[in-house]
Structure 1
Amino acid sequence: MLKYLLLILLVAAVWYGWRYVNRKPASKPPAPTQPAQDKPAPKAVVEDLKPCPVCGTYMVTGPDQPPGQTCGRPECRPA
């Protein structure tokens, strides 16, 4: 029984040794390229939010919306 165990260990050692010797070198990630200087970065659009006075759901505010306006959901009706 010990002969079989030693044979299996020897085969495993040779197998993993062979794989270790013949492994491929780790590839390095490509160097980062410089972004094009002629294209400006896209601007982020930011909008202010305010809570609905009735239900508290946040909604977009804007200059064309009157103060105290509800969010417009059917279950949100001012009392």
Structure 2
Amino acid sequence: MFSLSKILFLVLVIGAVWFGWRWYNRVGAVGRERLRERERRGSGKPTSTSSGGSPRVAAEDMEKCPECGAYVAPRSAVACGRPVCPYGR
């Protein structure tokens, strides 16, 4: 029924799962800390703070180009290559 080898194997499996779980949580915590540090230093991305206090990336509405019909962000749009493109100026 139960042998010493089965019990030892079960203990090893439980130990591997336990240490694997601890390692996984530690890696996640380091990643979250690096992300917080990058946000503190400023990563160049525009962010705004919501009422909850968590930073969010600022969104920009897209506009349809009257010439080619593609949706572009007006502040960062580039010319589509057509002669009358309003974003190529």
TM-score range, shorter chain: 0.3 to 0.5
Task: Specify which structure has the higher proportion of helix.
Answer: 2
TM-score by length of 2: 0.33
Higher relative contact order, structure no. (Cα contacts within 8 Å, ≥ 6 residues apart): 1
